[in-house]
Amino acid sequence: MNILFIGDIVGKPGRNIALSLLPALKSKYSINYTIANGENSAGGYGITPDIARALLDMGVDLITTGNHIWEHKEIIPYMSGSNAVIRPMNISPSAPGKGYAVIKKTGVHALGVINLIGRVFMPPAQCPFHAAQDTISRITQEEHDLKHILIDFHAEATSEKQALGWFLDGKITTLIGTHTHVQTSDEIILPQGTAYITDAGMTGVVDGVLGMDKEQIISRFTTSVQRHADVAKGKEELQGVVITTEDSGRSLSIIRIKEHL
């Protein structure tokens, strides 16, 4: 089975390039499931119900998120009525929405998706290592035949991501890092069959800083005035990974995607 994971979609340029490239990518790699991180899809900060629906309409099966999930309050009631947008599992147990979901299609294995957030240089959260163990056991109790599990680990520190990858090797199909918006070149199949990459990258304008307007971000650093920046304009790119798995849920390959028009 083939899974496409799309790195953090940033604003309208990110949505546009995903819309333009998704049909050809899905056909080229015979993709069965498409997961996208959508935490920056609304103007660079958060996601709205309309944008979630637009991503689903373009062929994304499930949207993971991260620290920017609560930016637009309208997403909260949407998340209680739909499993298509999930938020990090390891935040407050009272947080709205869900931290995992199982997606199913006919003729192909089900895919469990868990969203976790890091604790190093990130807002307060519970231990992602214990949360991963607990959620894997919960999801496999709920879905007895579930062999394929993807984790989006939304985290800043490369060490925290690599450590969780090794910790979960053989227990999940793939661990994909997000949040830094910078694609790393360390994709690997770990010894027990878990596909791993420290960061899938981002989908949006690469002529900027993490998809945002470079002059405004430079100004944040030079003036210390911390205001939301606008989404950058310029060359758009879709970044992510394609994972190929076997029936057992082990991964066979992981390849980086970096495509533009």
Positions in the binding site for Fe ion (CB under 5 A) = 8, 39-40, 66-67, 179
- Name the amino acid, one letter, at 231: V
- In this structure, the strands spanning 188-189 and 195-197 are antiparallel
Task: Please tell me the distance from the alpha carbon of residue 150 to that of residue 152, in angstroms, as a whole number.
Answer: 7
The residue written with tokens 């959508």 in the block is 38
Tokens in use for 90?
């390891």
The DSSP annotation for 60-89 comes to --EEE--TTTTSSTTHHHHHHH-SSB---T
Of the pair 39, 249, the CB lying nearest Fe ion is at 39
Nearest alpha carbon to residue 5 among 38, 40, 50: 38
Q: Is 228 tagged catalytic? A: no
Residues 6+ apart with CB under 8 A from 53: none
CB of 179: closest distance to Fe ion in angstroms?
Answer: 4
Nearest approach, Cβ of residue 221 and Fe ion (Å): 18
Q: What are phi and psi of 142, to 5 degrees?
A: -75, -35
Looking at the Cβ atoms of 72 and 179, the one nearer to Fe ion is 179
Of 44 and 49, the one with the shorter C-beta distance to Fe ion is: 44
176: β partners: 152, 197
Q: How far is the CB of 122 from Fe ion (least distance, A)?
A: 8
Q: How far is the CB of 178 from Fe ion (least distance, A)?
A: 6
Report residue 245 CA to chain centroid gap. Answer: 18
User: What does the buried/exposed string (b/e) look like for 88-97 if buried means 16 or more CB atoms within 10 Å of the residue's CB?
Assistant: bbbbeeebeb
Which residues on neighbouring strands pair with residue 197, listed in sequence order?
176
Smaller CB separation from Fe ion, 66 or 240: 66
Catalytic one of 68, 109, 148, 154: 68
Pick 32 or 203: Cβ nearer Fe ion? 203
Return d(Cα 211, Cα 144) in angstroms, integer: 40
Please provide the size of the chain in residues. 261
- Minimum distance from CB of 2 to Fe ion (Å)? 24
CA distance to 11, 38, 50, 117, 141, per residue, from 54 (Å): 12, 11, 6, 25, 32
State the minimum distance, in angstroms, from the CB of residue 9 to Fe ion. 9
- Complex with Fe ion: residue 55 or 139, whichever CB lies closer: 55
* Residues tagged active-site: 68
